[in-house]
């Protein structure tokens, strides 16, 4: 066999190896996600909806999510992208703490609107009709 054929076979073998390895990694990640998907878990769907799992139906692969109090949405089980875990807030050592009493907000000034009392709102067609 010539060296070019051997090189091509080696490259093919490496590609197949990485393909199987990535497949196994995705399968392991999916199994880890499914083990965390239980009623009461806070999740995010693939379309960006956050909610709490109320109920799961394994037979039909349907999940009932409560996105806000009283709002229940039914989604497919595969639509759950990740389980949201509360991350601790990290405060830098040199961060300045501002008390609520120290903040001062200026009142908003009224901005002129496009049509105020001094604006003539008659249409140019109305003016032509009057003439």
Contact 64, 55 (CB under 8 A): yes
Contact 67, 73 (CB under 8 A): yes
The 3-state secondary structure of 15-74, one letter per residue: HHHHHHHHHHHHHHHHHHHHHHCCCCCEEEECCCCEEEEEEEECCCCEEEEEEECCEEEE
What is the rounded radius of gyration, in angstroms, for the C-alpha atoms of the chain? 30
Domain boundaries, the chain: 1-36, 38-87
pLDDT digits (tens, 9 = 90+) for 63-97: 999 999 999 999 998 898 888 886 655 666 666 66
For residue 75, the tally of other CB atoms under 10 A from its CB is 19
Helix, strand and coil percent figures for the chain, each rounded to 5: 35, 20, 40
pLDDT digits (tens, 9 = 90+) for 33-64: 877 888 888 999 999 999 999 999 989 989 99
Q: What is the third-level CATH fold of 38-87?
A: SH3 type barrels. (2.30.30)
Report the pLDDT value the prediction gives residue 38, as an integer from 0 to 100. Answer: 87
**Rounded Cα distance, 46 and 66, in Å:** 16
Report the pLDDT value the prediction gives residue 130, as an integer from 0 to 100. Answer: 58
3 state SS of 75: strand
**pLDDT averaged over the chain?**
80
């Amino acid at each position: 066999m010539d060296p070019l054929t051997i090189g091509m076979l080696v490259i093919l073998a490496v590609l197949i190896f990485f393909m199987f390895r990535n497949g196994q990694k995705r399968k392991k990640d999916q199994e880890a996600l499914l083990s965390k998907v239980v009623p009461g878990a806070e999740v995010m769907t693939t379309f960006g909806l956050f909610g709490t799992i109320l109920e799961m139906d394994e037979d039909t692969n349907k999940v009932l999510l409560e996105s806000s109090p009283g709002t229940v949405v039914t989604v497919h089980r595969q639509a759950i992208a990740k389980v949201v875990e509360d991350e601790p807030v990290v405060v830098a050592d040199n961060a300045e703490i501002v008390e609520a009493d120290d903040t001062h907000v200026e009142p908003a000034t009224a901005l002129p609107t496009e049509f105020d009392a001094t604006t003539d709102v008659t249409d140019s067609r109305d003016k032509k009709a009057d003439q």
